[in-house]
Amino acid sequence: MTSQTSLDFNYVLQTALLLTALYIFLALSKIIVERLLVRLSQSLIKIMRTEVSEKIKKVPFSFFDQHSTGDLLSRITNDVEAIGRNVQLSVSQIVNSMLMFAGIIIMMVFISPILFLVFFITVPLNILATKIIMGRSQKYFRAKSERLGAMVGYVEENFTGTDLIKAYNYQDQSNEEFRAFNDRLFDVSYRASFMAGILNPVMTFIGNVAYVLIAIVGGLLVVNGTIMVGDVLAFMQYSQNIRRPIDVIAEMANTLQETIASSNRVFQFLDAPEEVENTSHRIEGPIEEIKLDHIGFEYEQGQPVIRDLTLTVQQGETVAIVGHTGAGKTTLVNLLLRFYDVTRNQILINGIDIRTVPRDNLRSFFGMVLQDTWLTQGTVYDNILYGKVDATEDEVIQASKQAHAHHFIETLPNGYRTVLNEDATNISQGQRQLLTIARAFVSDPDILILDEATSSVDTRTEQLIQQAMANLMKGRTNFVIAHRLSTIVDADKILVMDQGDIVEQGSHKELLAKNGIYTELYNSQFSE
């Protein structure tokens, strides 16, 4: 008796140790699998963000004309994050459910092929229900992603315009507009989740129908002696157990639908047409001549912005461009830099059609100082270095001195290492403009695009900016978008643009003598 007891105890102990080892193995396996899934999802997010970031630099400017900033930000952040998060959540549960589903199917076939056929009758109903419900909910998930992008765009717009919203007491109207965006998002989010949530109870109902059919047919088979009662009960239990993996998959419908909608938006962006590069020619400096040969351009087909523009600019000349708002001044600059390509004829630099030149080669000869300053969140030094990433510290300091920016930089808390905050609001508007001029000095371009940058600054700073720009323009070919005609009286050529055409061309004195549009613009400014 003692020996038998000892033998049983050893058997129980061995079984316990075996089960313990098995559970430890399963736990470790789960940890490893979860680690792999986390790495997979985070790697996926990293790769997609990198691809999206690189894609932004490759799409043409027309793409940004057609999509809001908020929508693009939503694709880069919300949609990419949703894909990675849902992949991690879904894959492990779906894989486990599929393995369980396959194992139960094998056992059901082994117990009774006849009862399995009865169960299999309901499978097409499951497939049909899934297809109908997920098909209808998919459009709502897609609309949800789109409306989320629209709302992000509105919020981004409100953040940048907070001062104007408060200045014009627009808070209440702004809140109403946000509620409208939020209500539209709520509507499609509710519909998407509701439609996806219907799948689980529908699948449960179909499973219960299968359970009843199995009980009826199984009872008949027992009566006929074809199958034992125990087998029928076991099969019925399996028919209930198989609902667990099916329920899990059904519960993942929301997640899967959101992933599909987010993926569509991200891949729609990644598949967008890119700027086509023609590398058959390269421009070699110095730039001796720029020629616009009867060019035409239209943003939208059938709506010309520039109709027939002809211009020849020699090295070292300063060309001022004036005209009413919408005359085509900015468009002309965009064409020179190949932000857009002309739709008729050609622009030649040193006799080479710029469409046959790589954009980076073309733009390496240009420098820009615009009225809307653009500075990155970083140090003052890094922002100046943006014009030439391999510039030495001496070159940066010399450029700052030429731009009359060195003095104010030295007065900052950390000098050139002072960190500019978002939108560079910790320095003044005039100081921001001086930094952009210093950046242009560092790049040492052959051609300058200048937009009068003296708005919203005090008289002293305006004088510094004018002196800095005069220094910058020496010995270069300059295109000046003029707003105040008093600043361009010494320009070699003044182009008066109206509705995309050059309607007058000449020096300041020549244009005044014509007593045309330029004279009208000039007199209107000095009579104010």
Range 338-375 burial, b when 16+ CB lie within 10 A, else e: bbbebeebbbebbebbbbebbeeebbebbbbbbeebeb
Which contiguous run of DSSP H or E holds residue 299?
A: strand 289-300
- Residue from 297, 305, 285 nearest 352 by CA: 285
Cα Dmax for the chain:
129
What pLDDT, in 10s, does the model give residues 183-238?
A: 988 998 888 888 877 877 888 888 888 888 888 888 888 888 888 888 888 888 88
Domains delineated in the chain: 9-112+227-271 (1.20.1560.10), 289-526 (3.40.50.300)
What pLDDT, in 10s, does the model give residues 330-355?
A: 888 889 988 889 988 999 999 999 99
Tally of CA atoms within 13 A in the half-sphere of 528 that contains its CB? 6
What pLDDT, in 10s, does the model give residues 445-466?
A: 999 998 865 555 677 777 888 8
CA distance 438 to 384: 6
Enumerate residues 6+ apart whose C-beta is below 8 A from 16.
none
pTM here? 0.68
For residue 168, the model assigns a pLDDT of 67
Average pLDDT in the chain: 82
CA distance 207 to 233: 16
Q: Are 427 and 383 in contact (CB under 8 A)?
A: no
Q: Where are the beta strands (DSSP E) in 301-407?
A: 303-314, 318-323, 344-349, 352-353, 366-369
For the cut 60, the answer to whether the pLDDT of residue 525 exceeds it is yes
For residue 291, the model assigns a pLDDT of 93
For residue 254, the model assigns a pLDDT of 64
The percentage of residues in the chain with a pLDDT greater than 90, rounded to a whole number, is 8
For the cut 90, the answer to whether the pLDDT of residue 171 exceeds it is no
- Residue from 479, 155, 97 nearest 321 by CA: 479
Q: Can you give the C-alpha Rg of the chain in angstroms?
A: 35
- Looking at residue 326, its amino acid is G
* SS3 category, 379: strand
CA distance 98 to 355: 55
State whether the Cα torsion 223-229-235-241 is positive or negative.
positive
- When pLDDT is cut at 50, 70 and 90, the band that residue 110 belongs to is confident
Average pLDDT over residues 157-173: 73
The sheet carrying 352-353 orders its strands as 303-314, 289-300, 344-349, 352-353
For residue 17, the model assigns a pLDDT of 85
For the cut 70, the answer to whether the pLDDT of residue 163 exceeds it is no
For residue 523, the model assigns a pLDDT of 83
CA distance 46 to 40: 10
- Residue from 398, 460, 451 nearest 428 by CA: 460
Average pLDDT over residues 254-265: 77
- Please, what is the angle between helix 171-223 and helix 253-270, to 10°? 130
Which contiguous run of DSSP H or E holds residue 296?
A: strand 289-300
Q: In this predicted model, which residue has the larger pLDDT, 355 or 101?
A: 355
For residue 347, the model assigns a pLDDT of 93
For residue 289, the model assigns a pLDDT of 92
The three-state (H, E, C) secondary structure of 171-215, written as one string: HHHHHHHHHHHHHHHHHHHHHHHHHHHHHHHHHHHHHHHHHHHHH
CA distance 427 to 430: 8
Range 473-510 burial, b when 16+ CB lie within 10 A, else e: beebbbbbbbbebebbeebebbbbbeebbbebbbebee
For residue 253, the model assigns a pLDDT of 66
State whether the Cα torsion 58-59-60-64 is positive or negative.
negative
- When pLDDT is cut at 50, 70 and 90, the band that residue 4 belongs to is very low
The sheet carrying 447-451 orders its strands as 366-369, 447-451, 477-481, 318-323, 493-498, 501-506
CA distance 177 to 203: 41
- When pLDDT is cut at 50, 70 and 90, the band that residue 135 belongs to is confident
Q: Are 443 and 403 in contact (CB under 8 A)?
A: no
Torsion on CA atoms 273, 275, 281, 283, rounded to nearest 10: 180
For the cut 80, the answer to whether the pLDDT of residue 479 exceeds it is yes
**Hey, what long-range contacts does 278-284 have (CB within 8 A, 24 or more apart)?**
278/355, 278/356, 278/357, 278/358, 279/357, 279/358, 280/356, 281/352, 281/353, 281/356, 281/357, 282/357, 282/358, 282/361, 283/349, 283/350, 283/352, 283/354, 283/357, 283/361, 283/362, 283/365, 284/350
- Beta bridge partner(s), residue 479: 319, 449
For the cut 70, the answer to whether the pLDDT of residue 8 exceeds it is no
Other C-beta atoms closer than 10 Å to the C-beta of 320 total 25
- When pLDDT is cut at 50, 70 and 90, the band that residue 1 belongs to is very low
For the cut 70, the answer to whether the pLDDT of residue 265 exceeds it is yes
- When pLDDT is cut at 50, 70 and 90, the band that residue 160 belongs to is low
Average pLDDT over residues 126-141: 80
The percentage of residues in the chain with a pLDDT greater than 70, rounded to a whole number, is 94
The alpha helices in 301-392, defined as continuous H runs, are 329-336, 359-363, 380-385
